[in-house]
Chains A and B, each alone.
Chain A
């Protein structure tokens, strides 16, 4: 470990809401509240200990206010950063900052969504028209029917054109995450609840012979649309030392934006900016990482982010992922990818970022269904917005004692 590394805040409590189809019986707020209680119990803390709240606007009313009232909290720090699926990586980094500066001791992040019950238009269900942002950009783009999948698919096409990346290589990502999902009973149940056609381990051939949703992306390269939610509790060292579970330190964070630019490179994401910031603060390099929790909205998202985070060079992601390197049982070949089954095969209610923190924490505690022996360093990278046009990136590096 780097001597300059600051262990000033740790994840001490986690909860992933188990159901991916609440059949309209529970609201996002109820999912947030139940997850908060479970995560605090996991930490051995109580609601009275919470003095900082992080909310991406799914709490109803004014962000930060609605959730405080609903939970009955009176936090001293209120952070309402809303950057889609990367919100929770931003929240974790901001919580580390607030705790390090003495403004707070116990931060609570919650997420709740009934995207599946609402048939909310994300993932494969995304409809044409919107570009994800009101205003002038949308006014230039909405006429051409760019669906969410086609937005990402345009990154894949350009990646293939520039670097010779193949659908078979992209499929490696789907195959590895499905392998991990099949080892995770909650992911298997999720696929059942969402009526997946064929719930089993997949092959490269399965992925590339599934139907194309938007060229060149196939169905099995697209995330599911689930209900769900979760919570994460982050605490100061003096609190963390007395918690029920071993601390998982937030070692570094980075954030960045990316948007269309004339002459820009669509194959490079905001992760190229946020990654070095996070690794730099943590004092670790990508080749030391055991667990890569990378936002898998689509296969191409992961390939792009792996390159941008420095696991391999730009353009070499395709050949790098070949041969099953991303599986949990190949630790000598690099980090294990999305060992919970990912958004592709376990949980994607719209903003998956919180699950990246949760599964990374499980791994560093030794609690994962696809446990990597001796895992000590993880990266959680959230991509919020759309990879092929405008998005935010949040990178968080985590480590155990």
Chain B
């Protein structure tokens, strides 16, 4: 039987496809509105501050701060069940976007994480895209 795999995003999704396309090159992209300068994330065709449609893509440096997290001890998903306990987190990128991801590269997520700590993106490569995970700096 095949190993259970991480549930992956659809690379062709209308709003977020371009974000995932860029992950192939390990680029963590977000949008800013040309008219009102609001940060738009998750990606869309319009600004969530003014509904304008003039958005420009930018690439994050991939560093940010742990806004909050939880360590999942119990999951019924076969891929994640095998990885419990694992950390799910909201991360504030330095440029402004808040992204949901996992924290990796630590022995015991129940003990080694604290809100406010600095994190850096770490890419997990897949066939059509790469998934942005984060590791404490």
Chain B nearest CB from A39 CB (Å) reads 35
B residues with a Cβ closer than 8 A to A are 6-10, 13-16, 19-20, 39, 41-44, 67-77, 79-80, 83, 85-86, 88-90, 92, 96-102, 110, 115-116, 131
- Answer whether residue A322 sits at the interface, using C-beta atoms and an 8 A cutoff: no
| Chain A residues with CB below 8 A from B16, complex form | 136, 139-140
Residue of A nearest to B11 (CB): A139
Residue of A nearest to B48 (CB): A261
| Chain A residues with CB below 8 A from B8, complex form | 143
Within 8 A of B (CB), among A118-149: 121, 124-129, 131, 135-137, 139-147, 149
| Cβ A128 vs Cβ B77 within 8 A | yes
Binary B-proximity of A209-232 (CB < 8 A = 1, otherwise 0): 001111111000000000000000
Q: Which of A124, A126, A139, A211 has the most CB of B within 10 A?
A: A139
Number of interface residues of A (CB under 8 A): 43
| Cβ B100 vs Cβ A144 within 8 A | yes
Determine the distance from Cα of A129 to Cα of B83 in the docked complex, in whole angstroms. 14
- Answer whether residue A266 sits at the interface, using C-beta atoms and an 8 A cutoff: yes
| Segment among A154-162, A328-336, A337-345 that sits at the interface with chain B | A154-162
| Cβ B96 vs Cβ A157 within 8 A | no
- Answer whether residue A264 sits at the interface, using C-beta atoms and an 8 A cutoff: yes
- Answer whether residue A236 sits at the interface, using C-beta atoms and an 8 A cutoff: no
| Cβ B75 vs Cβ A143 within 8 A | no
Residue of B nearest to A211 (CB): B73
| Cβ B68 vs Cβ A266 within 8 A | yes
Chain B nearest CB from A361 CB (Å) reads 36
Set A128, A156, A157, A263: member contacting B72, Cβ < 8 A: A128
Determine the distance from Cα of A132 to Cα of B26 in the docked complex, in whole angstroms. 27
Contact A146:B7 (CB < 8 A) given known A127-B77, A153-B70, A157-B115 = no
| Chain A residues with CB below 8 A from B102, complex form | 144-145
Determine the distance from Cα of A137 to Cα of B15 in the docked complex, in whole angstroms. 9
| Cβ A157 vs Cβ B98 within 8 A | no
| Cβ B73 vs Cβ A214 within 8 A | yes
| Chain A residues with CB below 8 A from B101, complex form | 144
- Answer whether residue A150 sits at the interface, using C-beta atoms and an 8 A cutoff: yes
Chain B nearest CB from A150 CB (Å) reads 4
| Cβ A129 vs Cβ B72 within 8 A | no
- Answer whether residue A260 sits at the interface, using C-beta atoms and an 8 A cutoff: yes
| Cβ B88 vs Cβ A150 within 8 A | yes
| Chain A residues with CB below 8 A from B19, complex form | 140
| Cβ A128 vs Cβ B41 within 8 A | no
- Answer whether residue A3 sits at the interface, using C-beta atoms and an 8 A cutoff: no
Chain B nearest CB from A209 CB (Å) reads 15
Determine the distance from Cα of A135 to Cα of B110 in the docked complex, in whole angstroms. 31
| Chain B residues with CB below 8 A from A2, complex form | none
Determine the distance from Cα of A26 to Cα of B119 in the docked complex, in whole angstroms. 51
| Cβ B88 vs Cβ A213 within 8 A | no
Determine the distance from Cα of A224 to Cα of B74 in the docked complex, in whole angstroms. 15
Determine the distance from Cα of A260 to Cα of B68 in the docked complex, in whole angstroms. 13
| Chain A residues with CB below 8 A from B88, complex form | 144-147, 150, 154
| Cβ B77 vs Cβ A145 within 8 A | yes
Chain A nearest CB from B71 CB (Å) reads 4
27 chain-A/chain-B pairs, Cβ below 8 angstroms:
A127-B75, A128-B75, A131-B100, A135-B15, A136-B43, A139-B9, A140-B99, A140-B100, A143-B6, A145-B86, A145-B88, A146-B72, A149-B74, A154-B70, A154-B88, A154-B90, A158-B115, A212-B71, A214-B70, A214-B74, A215-B73, A217-B70, A261-B98, A262-B98, A264-B98, A266-B68, A266-B90
Contact A215:B42 (CB < 8 A) given known A128-B77, A136-B14, A143-B9 = no
Q: Which of B7, B68, B71, B79 has the most CB of A within 10 A?
A: B68
Chain A nearest CB from B30 CB (Å) reads 9
